[in-house]
Structure 1
Amino acid sequence: MTKVAWSITHQEFIISDHYYFSKLERYTKENSIIVEEVDKFEKLADYDVIVFNYPEIPFTKEEADFIEELVKKGKKVGIYAYYKNEDSIADRCNTLSERFGIKFNGDIVTDDVNNYDNDNLLITTTDIFPKLKEKGIQKVMLACTDTLTIAENVKPLIKAENTAISKLGKEKILFAKYDDPSGGCFIAGGTCVFWDNYSIDLYNNKEFSLALLMKKNG
């Protein structure tokens, strides 16, 4: 049993929004994942996994310190953004993610070849970290995604295909993970809508979403 804190401390998208996330809510229940919306920052420490899905308020130094300590204590933390620095989302996420060697670039990624429904912003990719592929995650659709610049101690989880184009000319890393020696980790994703009702049943998005929410993953 995994307990997940879905943060609403920074005005994130709420998982209880039926129109967008009813499928994700159902799938978590079917897989013994308890997800609770949390509105008090200090209460995040009571959970195994912490999710910041499109935070609309920057993180303070004290909040970043707090999350850094939680990762050092073995917690799993994920933060998920959007493309082209919409609403300054990349800047806000960077106030936390840069602590872990990950920078959101405020980029736009398109792919005229590997995409869903002939829409070059709904990119698809099979360039996925091997341990995730072992879990059956062979292909995902990542809509309206940013790119990430990562430090040497951070590993890419998902990259765009060679046919994709970064508007800023960046390396096409879309999801990345910092592993702490404690067993905790920090995951960053260039898009926050890979697990909404539109996307989650496409390809292996469901399996990928559940892997991110489980206490242990690749």
Structure 2
Amino acid sequence: MRKIGWDISHQEFIISDHYYFSKLQRYINEAGMQVDEVDEFEKLANYDTIIFNYPEIPFKKEEVDFIEELVKKGKTVGIFAYYKNEDHIADTCNTLSERFGIKFNGDIIIDNINNYDNDNLLITTTDISNMNNSINKVMLACTDSLLTTDPKVRILVHGEDTCESKLEFEPILFAEYVDENGGKFIAGGTCVFWDNYSIDLYNNKEFSLDLLSR
């Protein structure tokens, strides 16, 4: 059974919040995986997949070193942010992600054509790579863009040609650093693609489970 450690030591959104994440919890269990909230950072080493969903406390150097070692040992680590950077979410995520050649831009991505419910902040895209073939379209709400600086980083989700970056960056929305030993570090511009509102739209469910089981 794959074990997922959902970190709460950096004041992340908790997966046990029924209003926001009850569906994700149920789908994880139905997929034969286990998820635990983890409030002691060192205990993350006991898990196959480690998730930081909107961390609000910056990562210390020793914590970044710790996560880097876990990735080198084959673990999968994911960190997910939000748009704007008004509360420094991009800056906080960058204290970890930049070690793996991925930077959150603090951007706002809109799409006036490809979106859900005629809302240009709820963008949809079919430009998906290096994922399960069953994932054809996802909805990403209120997403940041990413800048990649390492050749070991590959794009997972890119905006459609119709989307726009307020800061004029390329609309890279999810990306993944792949270690030579098989470990992965995943960064996503939004943390609400798998909440109760979004997860049943398009292939968001399959997308979420793929990220957790890579």
> TM-score, normalised on structure 2?
0.98
Which runs of structure 2 are paired with 1:1-218 in the superposition (5 Å)?
Answer: 1-129=1-129, 131-134=130-133, 136-151=134-149, 152-214=151-213, 216=214
Distance (Å, rounded) in 2 between the aligned partners of 1:199 and 1:114: 16
Structure 2 unaligned blocks of 5 or more: none
Supply the AA of the counterpart residue of 2:183: G
Q: Is the 8 A contact 2:177 2:185 kept in 1?
A: yes
Query: What do the CA deviations read for 1:69-104 (whole angstroms, capped 9, x no partner)?
Result: 000011000000000113100000000000000000
Q: Distance in 1 between matches of 2:206 and 2:60?
A: 33
Query: Per-residue deviation at 1:133?
Result: 4.8
Deviations 1:49-82 (A, max 9, x none): 0000000000000000000000001100000000
In 2, Cα distance between the equivalents of 1:185 and 1:162?
A: 27
CA distance in 1, matches of 2:162, 2:82: 20
Q: Percent identity?
A: 72
Aligned counterparts of 2:9 and 2:132: Cα–Cα separation in 1? 33
Question: Residue 82 of structure 1 contacts residue 190 of structure 1 at CA under 8 Å; is this kept in 2?
Answer: yes
Equivalent position amino acid for 1:76 in 2: T
Aligned length: 213
Unaligned runs of 5+ in 1: none
SS in 1 for 2:44: helix
Q: CA RMSD in A?
A: 0.7
When you count helix as a share of all residues, which structure comes out higher?
A: 1
The SS at the match of 1:103 is strand
